[in-house]
Structure formats: structure tokens, C-alpha cells
Amino acid sequence: MTDIKRFDTDHRMSQAVVHGNTVYLAGQCGTAHAPIQTQTREALSKIDHHLATVGTDKAQLLSVTIWLSSIADYDAVNAVWDAWVAPGTAPARSCGEVQIGGEGYNIEIICTAALS
């Protein structure tokens, strides 16, 4: 049996799943209906939190996919993202327009990271 460690698990999903030295996070969102900058900061904060829980941090990010409910938010989100990334450690990234489950959610961020 492979060793899998799950964190913040309910009947639907885990917020973080560790397999070997890789961690997969559930899509992270901010507060519904908040301004996009706020939602972005909150989603990134949750990522920081979940990465810390499994013993790693944002400098160990491998791959990130960002879903925006409106691609018009692209520049605003990038400004918050660019300031958050640990210099020299930016992950592979993609960012596209995808409607998100639940009303008022305008950003969801999906990450894979290495354990430090």
C-alpha cells in the first residue's frame, strides 16, 4: 500500500494530499463576492497555510493552475500573484477563464508542490 497522507478531509475532498514527496492541494478560493484582489490574497493565504501544514512552503511550488470567472481580472490577479511569489522560485503556471462552483467566487487556484 502506497503511503498517502490526507489533510482537512471530508466526504467530498481533502484540502491537501501528500504522496511520496509531492503534495496536491484542492482548488483554493477566497471569500465569495469580495473584490478580486481580496479573493486572490485569501486564496494564496490558504495555500500558504496548507503548504505549512504538510511541512513545505510556496518556494517549493511545482505547478499552479489559476481559474478566473472573468479573464478581465487577469492583470489585477497577476499583480497580487507577482508580489506573492518567492523571488526565483516561480512555478510552472497556467491561467484561464473557468466558472467556479458556488456564487460569487471569482478565483480558484490549484497547486502541486514538493515537500521541503
Q: Is 15 in the site for a copy of itself (CB under 8 A)?
A: yes
Among 47, 93, 104, 106, binds a copy of itself (CB under 8 A): 93
Q: Is 41 in the site for a copy of itself (CB under 8 A)?
A: no
Nearest alpha-carbon partner for 89 in 49, 56, 66: 56
Contact 37, 80 (CB under 8 A): yes
Q: Is 16 in the site for a copy of itself (CB under 8 A)?
A: yes
For the CB of residue 47, give the shortest distance to a copy of itself in the complex, in Å.
Answer: 12
Q: Is 49 in the site for a copy of itself (CB under 8 A)?
A: no
**Three-state secondary structure call for residue 110:** strand
46: β partners: none
Among 33, 35, 97, 104, binds a copy of itself (CB under 8 A): 97
Using CA atoms, how far residue 23 sits from 18, 34, 80, 83, 104, in Å, is 4, 28, 23, 23, 28
Residue 4: its H or E element: strand 4-9
Question: What span, in angstroms and rounded, lies between the C-alpha atoms of 65 and 95?
Answer: 6
Among 40, 47, 58, 108, binds a copy of itself (CB under 8 A): 108
Binding positions for a copy of itself, rule: CB under 8 A: 1-2, 4, 6, 9-17, 19-22, 24-27, 60, 62-65, 67, 71, 74, 78, 81-82, 85, 87-102, 108, 110, 112, 114-116
